Every structure is written in structure tokens, then in C-alpha cells.
Amino acid sequence: MITETKKARVSAAAGAALKLKRNKSSAFKHLIKHRVLLLMLLPGVVFLLVNNYLPMFGIVIAFKNINYTDGILGSPWVGFTNFNFLFATEDAWIITRNTVLYNLVFITLNLVIAVAVAIGLSELKSKLAAKFYQSIMFFPYFLSMVVVSYLVFGFLNVEYGFINKGVLALFGMNEVEWYSEPKYWPLILPLINIWKGVGYSCVIYLAAIIGIDSEYYEAALIDGASKWNQIIHITVPLIRPVMIITTILAIGGIFRSDFGLFYQTTLNSGALYPTTLVIDTYVYNALINMGNLGMSAAAGLYQAVVGFFLVIGANWIVRRIDKDQAVF
């Protein structure tokens, strides 16, 4: 009995070894056969490793008190001390609230307006006009936030700004100190964000709309469906997967902010901090004033980890509602 059991074990081990050897041989033949394609893939893999994986070593900075003399590895460990900085001040609630609420507004408005613009462009009869309007709306996306900040300053400047000297003066209204009044910026910043980013966002949805089979619209037209009904019952449902994917990805960055938007366009005015200070600008200001790299790295790691779990959570919710629409 024992002998038969040993023989069975030896036979199973020999079979497993033979199978492993065959798999190795098959894998080697596969590499040789597709060596050209693998070589073409190599630059992309190297780029991914250098730009996405090697920098992960910098995570250790978040748990250290960086000493420029000793370097990263030689600097002392401080545990979670750097993370306490974000939550130990009176500004913790303000920066968290501003970051989350602004991003929720940006995600919602960009989704609705970009989809509406994409549908409008797809309905234009003249393809030349559609390309022209698309290019005009796409242009602001390529502008640096430094340039945008000067444009905004030209509109809002007290001495010669277009809003004060043109619009408000025309209606006999008093001039406004825009860079000293925080109450106006929850409206100004979303407008700037939409103006700059809607052209880029609508391209994604426009590509999805163009890919819809025209037979759907022809059948709806035969049934007497109006243009509005075609949009509601054909266009929007068929581009919904793209809308869900872009929204989930955007939710992953809800704890991150467009640094240029909140720092450059507001001129980093201290009077506006109650409504414009976000995590990114707060950390930058603290880094400039204190020179603490560990604290800055801790904030970045905190944002990345929270963003990761938000993506997982958003995808889980979508999967619970409609499994086919989930990203993974």
C-alpha cells in the first residue's frame, strides 16, 4: 500500500516536471516566434517602468524627515508624523471641503456640458462648420494656466479690467475687488475650468457618437421619433459606457486639484483662501515656507491612496447597478 502511494507521488511529480518543461519550451518558442512584436513593445515597457514604477520608490520620503546631507536612504524614519500635518491644523476642514466640492462640480459640469456640446456638434449638417467649432473650443486646452491667469486678470483687474470698466460701469454698478472677495470664486473657477477643458472632453464623446450605427437613427426616423427622442433613447444610452468610464476615472482624482487653476488664476491671494485653498496649493505653500519634502510626499501619497479606493468604490457601485457597465 505504502509502495503504491509512493509510486503515485513519484509519477505525479514526474508528470508535473514534464508539464513544466513543456510549458517552458512552449514559452521559449512563443518568444522566438513573436520576437519582432516583443521588441516593438520594449520601448513602451521601459517607458512605463521608468515613469510609473521606479518613482514609487519615492513613497519612502513620506515616512522620513529628509536630510539633504544624508540623502533619502540615510534620513531618519518618522513614521506617520508627516501625515499629521494635513489634519493637525485649522485649515484641514477647509482644504478638504474645497478640494472635494470643487471636483464634484467640475466632474458634473464637464460631463453634462461636454456631452451636450458633442451631441450638438454631431448634429451639424456642415462638417466644415463642425470642425471649425471643435477647433475653437479645443484651443483653450493647450493654453498654459499662466496665460489663462493673465486673461482672467485682464477681465477682473480693478483698475482697467473689462468687467469693472466695461460691464459694471455700463450698468452703473460699483467696481468689485475680485481678488479680495472670496464669495465670487466658487462661480468663477468652474467657469474657467469648463472654458478650458470642455473642448477636450467633448472630443471623447464625439468620437463615441460618430461610432454609433446610423441604422438606429434611420429606424427611429421611420417610427416617427423626433430629434430629441433620438438623442434621449439612442445617443445617450449608447455613449453611456464612455460616460461611466470617464466619470469613474475622474472620481479617482477627486482629492487632486488643478494646481494652476487654484494657484495661478487666483494669484495665490490670501484673502481668497476660504474658497480657493485646496490640498495641492496648501501643501505647496507649506513646502515653500517650511521646505519639508516629507510632508509634501505624505500629501501626495494620501491623495493617491484615497483616489485608488474611490475608483474601486465607484466601480463597485456601477457594478451593483449594471454589471456590464463596470470598468473591471
Question: How much is the pLDDT for 24?
Answer: 62
Which residue stretches of 34-175 are H helix? 35-48, 71-74, 81-87, 92-122, 127-138, 145-156, 162, 169-170
Whether 166 and 47 map to the same domain: the answer is no
Phi, psi of 75 (to 5 degrees): -70, 150
Whether 124 and 158 map to the same domain: the answer is yes
Whether 9 and 43 map to the same domain: the answer is yes
Give pLDDT tens digits along the chain (328 positions).
Answer: 446 565 555 555 555 555 555 666 677 777 777 788 888 888 989 999 998 888 888 888 888 888 878 888 888 888 888 888 777 777 778 888 898 899 999 999 999 999 999 999 888 888 888 888 888 888 899 989 999 999 999 898 888 888 888 888 888 888 888 999 999 999 999 999 999 989 888 888 998 998 888 888 888 888 888 888 999 989 999 998 889 888 888 887 888 888 899 999 998 888 898 899 888 888 888 778 777 788 878 888 888 888 788 888 888 887 887 777 676 7
Look up cell 490670501; give the residue.
Answer: 270
Whether 95 and 191 map to the same domain: the answer is yes
Q: Domain ends where: 10, 27, 61?
A: 61
Whether 24 and 132 map to the same domain: the answer is no
CA 197/CA 140 separation, integer angstroms: 7
Residue 285 lies in a domain: yes
Residue 187 lies in a domain: yes
Nearest residue to 220 via CA among 210, 207, 229, 211: 229
CA 107/CA 273 separation, integer angstroms: 22
CA 260/CA 265 separation, integer angstroms: 7
Which element (helix H / strand E) includes 24? helix 2-33
User: What is the DSSP track for 218-237?
Assistant: HHHHHTT--HHHHIIIIIHH
Which element (helix H / strand E) includes 261? helix 259-263
> From the CB of residue 25, how many other CB atoms can be counted at a distance below 10 Å?
10
Plot region of 103 (φ>0 → left; ψ -120 to 50 → alpha; else → beta): alpha
Residue 26 lies in a domain: yes
Residue 174 lies in a domain: yes
Whether 139 and 199 map to the same domain: the answer is yes
Residue type, 72: I
Whether 238 and 291 map to the same domain: the answer is yes
Q: Domain ends where: 61, 90, 107?
A: 61
Residue 72 lies in a domain: no
> From the CB of residue 258, how many other CB atoms can be counted at a distance below 10 Å?
21
Whether 304 and 218 map to the same domain: the answer is yes
Whether 183 and 301 map to the same domain: the answer is yes
What is each CA distance from 56 to 59, 60, 238, 310, in whole angstroms? 6, 8, 38, 20
Residue 74 lies in a domain: no
Cell numbers standing for residue 323: 454589471
**Domain ranges, residue 49:** 2-61
Whether 233 and 320 map to the same domain: the answer is yes
Nearest residue to 242 via CA among 308, 121, 327, 328: 327
Whether 169 and 267 map to the same domain: the answer is yes
Residue 71 lies in a domain: no
CA 259/CA 267 separation, integer angstroms: 12
Q: Are 303 and 75 in contact (CB under 8 A)?
A: no
Q: What is the CATH number of the domain that holds 180?
A: 1.10.3720.10
Q: Domain ends where: 32, 61, 90?
A: 61
Q: Are 209 and 119 in contact (CB under 8 A)?
A: yes
CB proximity list for 193: less than 8 A, separation 6 or greater: 106, 109, 110, 258, 261
Whether 52 and 103 map to the same domain: the answer is no
Look up cell 449594471; give the residue.
Answer: 322
Furthest-apart CA pair in the chain: how many Å? Answer: 106
SS3 251: helix
Nearest residue to 327 via CA among 251, 242, 262: 242
Residue 75 lies in a domain: no
Look up cell 459606457; give the residue.
Answer: 241
Residue type, 40: M
Q: Are 131 and 203 in contact (CB under 8 A)?
A: no
Question: How much is the pLDDT for 114?
Answer: 93
- Number of structural domains in the chain: 2
